[in-house]
A and B are shown apart, each in its own frame.
Chain A
Amino acid sequence: MLFLKRIRRGGLGRRGGASGEGSLLRSDGAEGLWATSGGLGLQGITKRFGELEVLRGVSLEVHRGEFFTLLGPSGCGKTTLLRIVGGFEVPDAGRVVLGGRDLTHLPAHRRPVNTVFQNYALFPHLTVYENVAFGLRSRGFPEAEVRARVEYALGLLHLEGLLHRYPQQLSGGQKQRVALARALVNEPEVLLLDEPMSALDAKLRAEVQVELRNLQRRLGATFILVTHDQEEAMAVSDRIGVMEGGRILQVGTPEEVYERPRTRFVAEFLGVANLIPARRGKGGVETPWGTFALEVPWERGFLAMRPERVEVHLHAVPGSVPARVRQVIYRGAYLEAFLEPSLRVRTALRLSPDQEIFVRLPVKGLVVLHE
């Protein structure tokens, strides 16, 4: 009965966010059915497929109510990690802990976790309504409550008019929303999204990203998204975990991983980065663009700087270095220029090829790469 009341009050976990609990699964309204702290912990997850080591000891903490994104190129192990959380793969070593409870060997159908699959995996023989009702019916909810919840979820995702359609009668964006409703209606402790936007066109994708972000905020639910699209990751996430070769290289807010990448891979995978060869010298770090007062853990290595952080001047200023414009690309809002010696910059100045200019690398924008 309590569920219904909460639905009428307007919310699949409307009270989420602030109080840190937002699940209708919590029948008593305060203490969770599963546990209280609610965070998802992955501890030393290892997985091999035959000879191939897909995950090499991944440890990760996802907070409750957080939008966490696993970002990495294809084959980095991010989907396998998600499938381990969903219960579709069993790790060779390591544990999956949700709210203090060990889920590692719990089968998928008994986990308080739901998935939005990459191809949506809607049941073609069931209508939109029946698809969304599926999880509730599996768990034997009374039909009146199934109806109330499904209608609420369909309303949340603006699907009211499509109740009796079959999946093959829906557009890509509609299918995606049905898949989302079908997972969310179960009030999962954690919602897993496996590249849910890869089948949408660019414009729709941008809209869905905003919608997804708003939905997650409103429900206060924990979302884990897998994607290879760094812009998508930055647009929706509270935190991003950048993966490569079966490891998590860096975890941080979008700003942290973009502005302060720890490794060369992270710097290059998230947007464009200038890699500046550097050497430890007497007065600091020596580079072709000057000497900087920075602490570096190596003798020879790389510094990184985002193109938009490079200052471009038409005349010499203190600390600037002369450079020549090799090529210019008009990007609309700005110009992107390739300089000699090798450097990419973004500027509002009207540059033309072969022009002599001056650049200055502000030390604040320089990032020391550890690998």
Chain B
Amino acid sequence: MNRLLVWYGELTTAPSLFLRGLLLVLPGMVWLLAFLVLPGLVLLPLSFAERGAFGEVVWTFSWENYRRLLGFGVLGYSPDNLLALLRTLWVALVTTLICLLLAYPIAFFIRSKPRAQRYLWLSLVLIPFWTNIVIRTYAWQLLLAPEMPFARLASALGLLEPGMALFPSTLAVYVGMVSAFLPFMVLPLYSSVERLDESLLEAVRDLYGGPWRVFLHGVLPQTLPGLTVGVILTFVPAMGMFVVPDLLGGAKHLLVGNLIQQAFYTMRDWPYGAALSLVLVLLTLLALRLYRRHGKEVELA
């Protein structure tokens, strides 16, 4: 005999509740299994296969792709791939950090507006987001092109030779990356900032806390949920980004995303691309794991 329980005013039993929950999550689970988990699993054996002479996949088992990835190529050792991995991690981290530093003031600015105006300001953050990332990146090329206002300003300040463009450059990559991901950071952060309990900020000030302590003990603990979502939504796609470094970065700014794209499209070496993809996934998961652990410490600190 199953024990009866009340669930939202309804008399039911635990197994029937479980069954109903299962039915509800089933469509989503099937979708994820079919289009995310299974293709992901295919990457694993694929990464141990080899490229045939005509770009086809030869199903063998070899560590060759991973050796190449670490830099042991036909032409001897080169650290380029590892550097690209590190660069990817670095660029994604810096992008996330810049987004975070920009998103807090934006979120507080929107919160400071009358309720009726807030959606207007939020949609201003969102509007660029309605345009395809490739088009937006080309727009940045145009904006950073020679003789355009930004380039003129830079050359007037003596930072750039006249007639030169502001891209390809590190700066251009970050400009492109941040503008691509800022909405992903602002929206979840704003949802936390909007519900902020101001009496906690006042409590910090009441207890002799300056601006930094107000942020650390008043703002941060309350906005941590939104911040976590924002960091994940920014960091994970930033790790896989290839459009922005491709169009604004040039050869010096190759990220793993570019290497993967080249492997699949240019070199038609699917096994090698699969190995790169897996390493990227592992690296991303590792970074998130570190963040989560550190995040928990912040929560309890």
Q: State the A residues within 8 Å of B (CB).
A: 86-88, 107-110, 113-115, 117-119, 121-126, 134-135, 138-139, 182-183, 186
Contact = CB atoms under 8 A, between A and B. Distances in A.
Interface string B236-256: 000000000000000000000
A109 B210 contact: yes
Nearest to A118: B199
B148 interface: no
Contact of B207 (A107, A124, A125, A138): A138
A86 B204 CA distance: 12
A318 to B, nearest CB: 60
Given A88-B202, A123-B200, A125-B221, A134 B300 contact: no
Q: Is the interface of B mostly helix, strand, loop or mixed?
A: helix
A58 to B, nearest CB: 21
A-B residue pairs, 6 tightest by C-beta: A135-B207, A138-B208, A121-B203, A108-B205, A121-B199, A125-B221
B209 interface: yes
Scoring A87, A88, A125, A186 by chain B CB atoms within 10 A of each residue's CB, the highest score goes to: A125
Nearest to B199: A121
B208 A135 contact: yes
B203 A109 contact: no
Interface in B168-222: 197, 199-200, 202-210, 213, 217, 221
A155 B173 CA distance: 58
A259 to B, nearest CB: 36
Contact of B200 (A87, A107, A114, A121): A121
Interface string B288-301: 00000000000111
Contacts of B199: 117-119, 121
A186 B203 CA distance: 13
Contacts of A186: 207-208
Given A88-B202, A117-B203, 9 more contacts: A86-B202, A87-B206, A108-B206, A123-B221, A134-B207, A138-B207, A138-B208, A138-B210, A138-B213
A125 B299 contact: yes
Given A123-B217, A124-B221, A125-B221, A109 B205 contact: yes
A115 B204 CA distance: 11
A111 to B, nearest CB: 8
Contacts of B207: 109, 114, 134-135, 138, 182, 186
B217 A125 contact: yes
Scoring A107, A109, A115, A119 by chain B CB atoms within 10 A of each residue's CB, the highest score goes to: A109
Contacts of B217: 123, 125-126, 134
B205 A107 contact: yes
A114 B210 CA distance: 15
B300 A125 contact: yes
Nearest to A182: B207
Nearest to B210: A109
Contacts of B300: 125
A125 B301 contact: yes
Contact of B208 (A88, A110, A123, A125): A110
Nearest to A123: B217
A142 B149 CA distance: 55
B44 to A, nearest CB: 40
Contact of B209 (A109, A118, A125, A183): A109
A165 B235 CA distance: 35
A87 B197 CA distance: 18
A114 B206 contact: yes
Contacts of B301: 125
B215 to A, nearest CB: 13
A182 B205 CA distance: 13
A108 B210 CA distance: 10
A135 B208 CA distance: 6
Given A125-B299, A138-B208, A108 B202 contact: yes
Contacts of B197: 121
A119 B198 CA distance: 11
Contacts of B204: 109, 134, 138
A27 to B, nearest CB: 16
Given A123-B200, A138-B213, A87 B208 contact: no
Contacts of A115: 202-203, 206
Contacts of A134: 204, 207, 209, 217
A125 B199 CA distance: 15
Scoring A115, A121, A182 by chain B CB atoms within 10 A of each residue's CB, the highest score goes to: A121
B202 A121 contact: yes
A123 B218 CA distance: 8
A125 B206 CA distance: 17
Nearest to B220: A125
A88 B203 CA distance: 10
Contacts of B205: 87-88, 107-109
A14 to B, nearest CB: 23
Contacts of A124: 221
10 contacts: A88-B202, A109-B206, A109-B207, A115-B203, A119-B199, A134-B207, A134-B209, A138-B208, A138-B210, A186-B208
A80 to B, nearest CB: 14
Contacts of A110: 208
Given A117-B203, A123-B200, A125-B301, A109 B208 contact: yes
A90 B261 CA distance: 59
Contacts of A107: 205
Contacts of A86: 202, 206
A122 B213 CA distance: 15
A114 B206 CA distance: 6
B94 to A, nearest CB: 27
Contacts of A121: 197, 199-200, 202-203
A124 B217 CA distance: 9
Contacts of A182: 207
B221 A117 contact: no
